[in-house]
Amino acid sequence: MLAAHRYCGGGLRLQAIDMVFVDLNDLPGLEEESRFARQLGFVGKTAIHPRQTRGDQSSLCPSREEIEQAMRLVQAFAAHQAAGAGAFELDGKMVDLPVMRAAEGVLAKARAAGLLN
């Protein structure tokens, strides 16, 4: 059901925020749940206490590897567009406009988190 809400919200360009994690003392559990929420497509998580914000935010930020891959993809997309190509292959995977927009989203999150200039 959560995935269905995320899918529908994404189509409307809405950002889905995951629900609160109520155990204030289980920071590893919060981090694990935040990583899972990110895998489902959530862009944030509700925090109810200041100690929850550090791990929560880092779990929802793109990794250095994801940032580098997104940068490569955006650069390759621009080069292929300049050459008049539409969809193309990068690292054995098809890249088209929706994939490029997802990569731009990764870079936007990285910038917002101060991980990228």
Quick one: tokens of 75?
A: 């650069």
Of 18, 26, 56, 96, the active-site residue reads 96
Give pTM, 2 decimals.
0.73
pLDDT reported for residue 98: 94
Residues 19-67 have pLDDT tens digits of 999 999 998 999 899 889 988 888 888 989 988 876 556 778 899 999 9
User: In a 10 Å sphere around its CB, with 0-12 CB exposed, 13-18 middle and 19+ buried, how is residue 67 labelled?
Assistant: buried
pLDDT reported for residue 4: 59
Is 91 part of the annotated catalytic residue set?
no
